[in-house]
């Protein structure tokens, strides 16, 4: 005998309806299916590989490696980026469909790491070429640190609004707290050419990205004058 | 898989393809400029330098012991062996002058063998796992990584790092074995040997995999020597040469090193020196390393309180010698998992090296790519790269 006074879970039409906004629903979907680009250059690539391995198993977070940037949402820059490689990294990033996110994994991608001082060929930080959402310290970071970084990224992805701010850059929408202070938008570059002169002291002239440079540096909110 | 059609008989229109620098099967950032005639490769030229980090130049800027962490980054899959090669070279330099001679404690030498051979196991696991993954078998890779995690755990307890250890130092090792390390290592080896039987059933004895690799890109022994191949790639071609046995460093001369060589393991379709031989030689070397670790564990002297003790210590005192090392030039070669890792070190008597030159196995392996990749199928490029087990920072440095 079923007591009509006790609601059975799943039978009540009211319980099968979730009210949400399209934006939140899409953000939930994006957050739980962060396909990442299999892009490993150096030592961190082995830790990235082992994070995808049986013990840490990032598949359970909906993270599946993709070989082509056109299918990827997330680029994990795992390893040293040299000057020769930097323009290729930019190309790969441009090939990814928006919205796209970047995690800089390890000291080399963050700042050049152990090669920043003496090396003549290493780019001191991948954020000179592409905007980075999350930086993970370590040389190389442990898989736990990588997963922690991904969880921090998921917080950002959850705040992403597809419809609400359709033609704005995702990094601006999320408070503009990325390395450049702010991004000028989709048409402009977010490289050193658009950053404030004092915000990023460039060590070499050849590090500017391939986007055309405007005559004078753009005004950037938040950056030091 | 061999083909009767050659590039010469086809004579069709050629297509140029860029493989890499971002390609999942090139093990990093190697770029191959491929010219194909249909499915047949007419030409494949490797392009290096995407990961040139000027490590040799850094060697001239930093002090002698400060270069050890950089050797980790030359070959991160087997960082212990990379540390060891540099430290053996610096010790040889110090020993050229009796005033600065250094005596590495016996316990440290044993620990070096143990960690180097354990690292060889974990490096070869990545090699065979990645090769089978490139050929479409994903499961063996996961089995290899699972075993590698256990080795990483042991190393993490030893020195606090999972990948770039900085453990082997000039004059010994950075830390003594932790309490219970011997039992841990023995337990790992016991479990690992059983696991390898499963692994071999899964992939090595797999007919599809074996036929896929049999006869592909066979290298004759003469070619292997002429192109300067080293390590398992050389032994895969049937050349019986191993630095650990033929030119021993450390205490390898007290161990009985057996050297497996390629014999055309793939059977009917196989040839000596094909991709399957290189694969199997690595697996046989894993077994050999397991035996060497056990032997070294038996030789391990009991620890003593004083760390510079000639027998039971783990680190000779070299701080004074390294401030004023003898002038001169030394050459040392050691057997890393990817073949001979050689160092030429020039000292001008100051506290920084005058020149550090590193010669690695992956770089020489790339020299034969052009010859091998002529006339093979497009899909076999991946097989060839996988069978050579290249690590790109080792090529570019």
Q: ipTM of the assembly?
A: 0.84
Residue A97 is predicted with a pLDDT of 86
Residue A181 is predicted with a pLDDT of 38
Q: How far apart are CA B46 and CA B273, in angstroms?
A: 21
Residue A175 is predicted with a pLDDT of 35
Beta bridge partners of B37: B40
Domain range list for chain B: 7-395
Is pLDDT above 80 for B256? yes
Q: How far apart are CA B332 and CA B344, in angstroms?
A: 7
Output the CA torsion sign for B300, B301, B307, B308.
negative
Of A78-82, B85-89, B313-317, the poorest mean pLDDT is in: B313-317
Q: Which of B18, B23, B26, B50 to mutate to test the interface with A (most CBs of A within 10 A)?
A: B50
Q: What is the pairing mode between strands B339-347 and B355-359?
A: antiparallel
Interface check A222 vs B, CB under 8 A: no
Q: How far apart are CA B183 and CA A17, in angstroms?
A: 58
Residue A164 is predicted with a pLDDT of 65
Preceding peptide of A140 cis, ω within 30°: yes
Q: What is the CATH number of the domain that holds A137?
A: 3.40.50.12280
Q: Is A20 helix (H, G, I), strand (E, B) or coil?
A: coil
Q: What is the pLDDT of residues B152-167, one digit of tens each?
A: 999 999 888 888 898 9
Is pLDDT above 60 for B380? yes
Work out the average pLDDT over B316-330. 87
If one compares A188 and A25, the residue with the highest pLDDT of the two is A25
CA nearest A34: which of A155, A190, A181, A130? A155
Task: Please answer yes or no on whether A82 and B149 come within 8 Å at the CB atom.
Answer: no
Residue A9 is predicted with a pLDDT of 61
Residue A176 is predicted with a pLDDT of 37
Task: Please answer yes or no on whether B28 and A82 come within 8 Å at the CB atom.
Answer: no
* A86 within domain boundaries: yes
Q: How far apart are CA B134 and CA B210, in angstroms?
A: 14
Residue A149 backbone phi and psi in degrees, to 5: -65, -40
- Calculate the dihedral angle through the C-alpha atoms of B111, B117, B122, B123, rounding to the nearest 10 degrees: 120
What mean pLDDT value characterizes chain B? Answer: 87
Q: What is the pLDDT of residues B100-125, one digit of tens each?
A: 888 888 889 999 999 999 999 999 99
Q: Is B181 helix (H, G, I), strand (E, B) or coil?
A: helix
Is pLDDT above 60 for B1? no
Smallest CA–CA separation between B29 and chain A, in Å?
6
Burial B108-125 (b: 16+ CB within 10 A, else e): bbbbbbbbbbbbbbbbbb
Q: What is the pLDDT of residues B63-98, one digit of tens each?
A: 898 999 999 888 888 899 999 999 999 999 998 888
Confidence of residue A214 (pLDDT cuts 50, 70, 90): very low
> Strand runs (DSSP E) across chain B, as ranges?
15-19, 31-37, 40-47, 168-169, 172-173, 328-336, 339-347, 355-359
* A15 within domain boundaries: no
Q: What is the pLDDT of residues A154-191, one digit of tens each?
A: 888 888 877 765 545 555 443 333 444 334 333 344 44
Q: Which of A37, A57, A59, A119 to mutate to test the interface with B (most CBs of B within 10 A)?
A: A119
Smallest CA–CA separation between B128 and chain A, in Å?
14
If one compares B125 and A8, the residue with the highest pLDDT of the two is B125
Non-local CB neighbours of B278 within 8 Å, separated by 6+ positions: B232, B233, B236, B262, B387, B388, B389
Q: How far apart are CA B69 and CA B82, in angstroms?
A: 10
Question: Does the B7-395 domain belong in CATH 3.10.129.10?
Answer: no
Q: How far apart are CA B147 and CA A55, in angstroms?
A: 10
Q: Is B342 helix (H, G, I), strand (E, B) or coil?
A: strand
Q: Which of B49, B142, B162 is closest, CB to CB, to A53?
A: B142
Is pLDDT above 70 for A3? no
Interface check A35 vs B, CB under 8 A: no
Residue B346 is predicted with a pLDDT of 92
Q: Is B356 helix (H, G, I), strand (E, B) or coil?
A: strand
Beta bridge partners of A104: A77, A135
Q: What is the pairing mode between strands A36-37 and B15-19?
A: unpaired
State both tokens at A81: 């980026």
* A10 within domain boundaries: no
Is pLDDT above 70 for A82? yes
Interface of A with B in 86-115 (CB under 8 A): 88, 92, 114-115
Residue A48 backbone phi and psi in degrees, to 5: -60, -40
Q: Which of B29, B62, B145 is closest, CB to CB, to A54?
A: B145
Q: How far apart are CA B394 and CA B341, in angstroms?
A: 10
Is B282:B336 a contact under the CB 8 Å cutoff?
A: no
Preceding peptide of B21 cis, ω within 30°: yes
Residue A15 is predicted with a pLDDT of 66
Smallest CA–CA separation between A42 and chain B, in Å?
7
The domain containing residue A74 runs over which residues? 21-195+207-219
- Calculate the dihedral angle through the C-alpha atoms of B232, B238, B244, B247, rounding to the nearest 10 degrees: -130
Confidence of residue B11 (pLDDT cuts 50, 70, 90): low
Residue B331 is predicted with a pLDDT of 92
State both tokens at A98: 């928006």
Is pLDDT above 50 for B192? yes
Sheet order of strands, B15-19 included? B15-19, B31-37, B40-47
Per the structure, how many domains does chain A have?
1
Of A7-21, A22-36, B22-36, B76-90, the poorest mean pLDDT is in: A7-21
Residues in chain A within 8 Å Cβ distance of B164: 43, 139-140
Chain B residue with minimal CA distance to A43? Answer: B76
Output the CA torsion sign for B141, B146, B150, B156.
positive
Residue A19 is predicted with a pLDDT of 83
Q: Is A103 helix (H, G, I), strand (E, B) or coil?
A: strand
> Strand runs (DSSP E) across chain A, as ranges?
36-37, 65-66, 74-78, 101-105, 134-136
Is pLDDT above 90 for B394? no
Of B54-63, B244-253, B266-275, the poorest mean pLDDT is in: B266-275
Residues in chain A, how many?
225
């Amino acid at each position: 005998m079923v007591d009509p006074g006790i609601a059975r879970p799943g039978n009540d039409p009211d319980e099968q309806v979730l009210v949400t906004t399209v934006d939140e629903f899409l953000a939930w979907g994006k957050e739980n299916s962060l396909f990442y680009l299999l892009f490993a250059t150096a030592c961190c690539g082995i830790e990235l590989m082992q994070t995808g391995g049986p013990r840490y198993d990032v598949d359970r977070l909906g993270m599946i490696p993709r070989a082509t940037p056109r299918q990827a949402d997330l680029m994990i820059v795992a390893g040293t980026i040299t000057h020769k490689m930097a323009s290729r990294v930019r190309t790969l990033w441009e090939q990814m469909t928006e919205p796209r996110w970047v995690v800089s994994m390890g000291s080399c991608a963050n700042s050049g790491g152990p090669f920043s001082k003496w090396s003549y060929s290493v780019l001191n930080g991948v954020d000179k070429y592409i905007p980075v959402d999350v930086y993970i310290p370590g040389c190389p970071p442990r898989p736990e640190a990588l997963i922690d970084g991904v969880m921090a990224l998921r917080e950002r992805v959850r705040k992403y609004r597809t419809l609400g701010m359709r033609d704005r850059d995702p990094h601006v929408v999320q408070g503009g707290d990325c390395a450049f202070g702010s991004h000028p938008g989709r048409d402009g570059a977010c490289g050193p050419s658009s950053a404030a002169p004092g915000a990023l002291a460039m060590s070499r002239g050849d590090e500017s990205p391939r986007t055309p440079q405007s005559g004078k540096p753009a005004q950037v909110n938040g950056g030091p004058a | 898989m061999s083909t009767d059609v050659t590039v010469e008989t086809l004579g069709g229109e050629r297509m140029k393809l860029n493989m890499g620098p971002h390609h999942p099967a090139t093990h990093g950032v190697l770029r191959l400029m491929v010219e194909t005639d249909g499915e047949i490769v007419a030409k494949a030229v490797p392009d290096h330098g995407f990961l040139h980090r000027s490590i040799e130049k850094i060697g001239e800027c930093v002090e002698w012991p400060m270069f050890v962490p950089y050797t980790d980054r030359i070959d991160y899959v087997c960082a212990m062996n990379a540390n060891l090669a540099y430290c053996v070279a610096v010790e040889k330099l110090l020993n050229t002058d009796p005033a600065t001679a250094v005596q590495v404690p016996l316990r440290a030498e044993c620990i070096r063998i143990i960690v180097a051979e354990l690292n060889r196991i974990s490096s070869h696991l990545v090699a065979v796992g990645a090769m089978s993954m490139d050929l479409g078998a994903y499961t063996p890779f996961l089995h290899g990584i699972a075993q590698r995690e256990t080795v990483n755990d042991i190393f993490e307890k030893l020195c606090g790092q999972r990948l770039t250890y900085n453990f082997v130092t000039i004059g010994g090792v950075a830390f003594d074995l932790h309490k219970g390390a011997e039992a841990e290592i023995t337990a790992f080896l016991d479990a690992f040997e059983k696991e390898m039987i499963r692994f071999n059933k899964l992939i090595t004895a797999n007919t599809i995999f074996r036929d896929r690799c049999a006869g592909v890109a066979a290298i004759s022994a003469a070619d292997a020597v002429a192109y300067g191949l080293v390590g398992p790639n050389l032994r895969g071609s049937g050349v019986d040469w191993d630095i650990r046995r033929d030119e021993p460093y450390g205490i390898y001369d007290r161990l009985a090193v057996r050297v497996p060589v390629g014999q055309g393991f793939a059977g009917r379709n196989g040839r000596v020196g094909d991709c399957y031989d290189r694969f199997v030689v690595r697996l046989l070397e894993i077994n050999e390393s397991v035996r060497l670790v056990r032997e070294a564990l038996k030789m391990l002297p009991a620890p003593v309180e004083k760390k510079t003790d000639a027998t039971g210590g783990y680190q000779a005192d070299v701080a004074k010698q390294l401030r004023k090392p003898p002038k001169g030039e030394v050459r040392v070669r050691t057997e890393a998992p990817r073949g001979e890792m050689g160092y030429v070190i020039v000292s001008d008597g100051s506290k920084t090296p005058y020149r550090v030159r590193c010669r690695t196995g992956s770089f020489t392996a790339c020299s034969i790519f052009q010859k091998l990749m002529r006339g093979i199928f497009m899909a076999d490029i991946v097989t060839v790269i996988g069978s050579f087990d290249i690590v790109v920072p080792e090529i570019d440095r």
